[in-house]
Amino acid sequence: MTSPLVTSEVGRLRTVLLHRPGAELRRLTPRNNDELLFDGVPWVARAQEEHDAFAAALTDRGVEVLHLDRLLAEVLDVPAAREQLVAAAVDDPRIGETLRHTCVAHLSGLASDELAAALIGGVAHDELPGARGLAFELMGPGDFVVRPLPNLLFTRDSSVWVGDQVAITSLAMPARHRESTITGAVYAHHPRFAGPQRLYDPTLEHLEGGDVLLLAPGVLAVGVGERTTAGGAERLARRVFARGLAHTVLVVPIAQERATMHLDTIATMVDVDAMVMYPAVADTLVAWTVRAGDDPDAGDLRVSGPQPFLAAAADAMGIERLRLIDTGLDPVTAEREQWDDGNNTLCIGPRLAVAYERNTVTNKALEDAGIEVVPIAGDQLGSGRGGPRCMSCPVVRDASPA
């Protein structure tokens, strides 16, 4: 069994963590989809077909696919993990003490696979036997005692590997807080991972995995915007420097908008020296360069900039330039394909990337630039605003070729 290790975005992908969407997507309605961060109500069976095809595309190319829900069910046989995750599920000020006790008793009595399904899919008002109490009486029949986690699909956000250490992230949106608890429990208790050293913790400043790009060994880019704060980027920088996991962190401000919620929604690596990027920001994206200060033991930082992002990245990576794939998109098409996650690709290896098939113009530009595109359907998966990179957390990659 290969130990977790990730040092770049483009080294040959060996093991990846996915989550096949299930009952949690069936909980989405026009009444709650905004609160649960979806732009619509997906056709669940089709979303599952699309995700199965995504997983198969990876498996067919030699990638080991780990499924988060299966790992979760296995760790729920561990009493400490079970107790932790049940407590997190009912840590909600809406439900009150009486309903909390009832819910704990119900969840604690479930078999591990049933409990995994409840923790992910949620528990509705009418699904809790013997429930009582003021909070219960005031709930509507469609309200949730335990909220579902439809965004668990986007496994990139709740954890990110840097070298052989894992950052269990601090998710900004209330609808997603429990995702990190689940991911963290899997890493802590599943024998596949054997409790890796933690680089980050959900109690810290907001930091999401979609904002963290491993541009090259020792070089991270961290987007700061809707989901990741400057404080989170600084905290991560201090920790990777102190542990020798990086020598440079580029902090990249991005617009606080739905279409650009994470850095990986506007730019992803497709080769060791090449990136695809939303054309509207290519000329304006800047970066602050952060390196360890004179006294790294004290957490000193040296901050310089801003510089144009591409120039700052090339300098940090020690290359002459970071190539930008010219998609040649007109402004309208660029905006459409950006909304449809055209720039959110997942590298399986250098010059080999998974992308949504609907972004035909971006994909052709990639192919014209020598990047082999593995197209997948995403009409229903994309309703949560996330592409192939968002839906995958690399756990093992080969070293990036020079």
Provide the annotated active-site residues.
390
Q: Which amino acid is at 347?
A: C
d(CA 286, CA 397): 28
Query: How many other CB atoms are there within 10 angstroms of residue 132's CB atom?
Result: 12
168, β-bridge pairs: 159
Tokens of 263: 């850095």
End-to-end CA distance of the chain: 26
d(CA 332, CA 397): 36
Own/partner contacts of 288-297, CB < 8 Å, gap of 24 or more, are: 288/250, 288/251, 288/252, 289/248, 289/249, 289/250, 289/315, 289/316, 290/233, 290/234, 290/237, 290/248, 290/249, 290/250, 290/251, 291/241, 291/247, 291/248, 291/249, 292/241, 292/247, 296/241, 296/242, 297/242
- Given a contact cutoff of 8 angstroms between Cβ atoms, the answer to whether 286 and 225 are in contact is no
Task: Identify the residue whose tokens are 């756990």.
Answer: 395
Residue among 112, 111, 89, 90 at smallest CA distance from 101: 90
Buried b (16+ CB within 10 A) or exposed e, 243-279: eebbebbbbbbbeeeeebbbbbbbbbbbbbbbbbbbb
Phi, psi of 366 (to 5 degrees): -65, -45
3-state secondary structure of 144: strand
d(CA 340, CA 344): 9
d(CA 392, CA 158): 11
DSSP annotation of 125 reads G
DSSP annotation of 301 reads E
